[in-house]
Amino acid sequence: MKYSMLLVFLLSGSTLFAEQANIGNVADAPKCCEKAPIKEMVLEKNNTILVSVIGQGVAPMNTTSPAQAYALAKRAAIADSYRLIAEKVKGVRVDDQDVIKNMMVKRSTVRTSVDAMIKNANIVETNFKEGLCEVEMEILLTYSQFSQ
């Protein structure tokens, strides 16, 4: 009985010590996983910002040749790239409507829209694989463009 009591005491003591040690480790550990706040890019005077996006487009089903499929998919991908640039530079308007009945979502509607004017965007790279075209597009934003 004495021995069993001693064993229980020793076990509980060791686990307590281990927990304390763990707490100490957590406290001492370097803050590896803390996310630094994302710094918003601000276009300052005499400074430029390079915005790069990858737009995707798909070829229609009823194309007469692979060349036509490529040309049409590329057009769609360019439009998508323009849209992505507009979203990044100007922002997106979001309208959301949810219909809830008896504590259940009956209908969820999200409408987003972008309206912008884009000039001097450059196509950097184009890839076409299995009917999907990807266009990498860049635009250089300068302070003078916005100060007018």
Partner 1 sequence: MRSRDGNSSYLLAIFSIVFFYSLSLQASEYLISYRYVVKDAILYNESLQISSAMKKCSGSPQESLLLSIDDNQNLQEIIKLNAQEFIDFLHKIGLNVEHKEKTINYINHSTTILTLKTTCFKVDINENFARIFPLN
- Of all helices (H) and strands (E), which one includes residue 127? strand 122-129
Report, in Å, the least distance between residue 100 CB and partner 1.
Answer: 13
Q: How far is the CB of 134 from partner 1 (least distance, A)?
A: 11
Within 47-102, strands assigned E span: 48-58, 93-101
Binding of residue 67 to partner 1 (CB under 8 A): no
Q: Which residue's CB is nearer to partner 1, number 35 or number 106?
A: 106
Residue located via tokens 């504590």: 103
Q: Judged by CB under 8 A, which of 70, 88, 121, 142 binds partner 1? A: 121
Distance separating alpha carbons of residues 119 and 144, to the nearest angstrom: 14
Closer of 31 and 106 to partner 1 (Cβ): 106
Kindly tell me which of 27 and 105 has the beta carbon lying closer to partner 1. Answer: 105
Residue carrying the six token digits 């737009």:
55
The C-alpha atoms of residue 108 and residue 102 are separated, in whole angstroms, by 15
- Name the phi and psi angles at 120, rounded to 5: 65, 30
- Counting contacts by CB under 8 A, is residue 51 touching partner 1? no
Piece of 8-16, 32-40, 69-77, 139-147 that binds partner 1 (CB under 8 A): 69-77
From 5-13, 25-33, 41-49, 68-76, give the range in contact with partner 1 by CB under 8 A: 68-76
Handedness of CA 12, 17, 23, 29 (dihedral sign): negative
Map the footprint of partner 1 across residues 97-116, applying CB under 8 A. 107-116
Beta strands 132-142 and 122-129, pairing class: antiparallel
List residues near partner 1 by CB under 8 A: 56-60, 72-73, 75-76, 78-80, 82-83, 85-87, 107-121
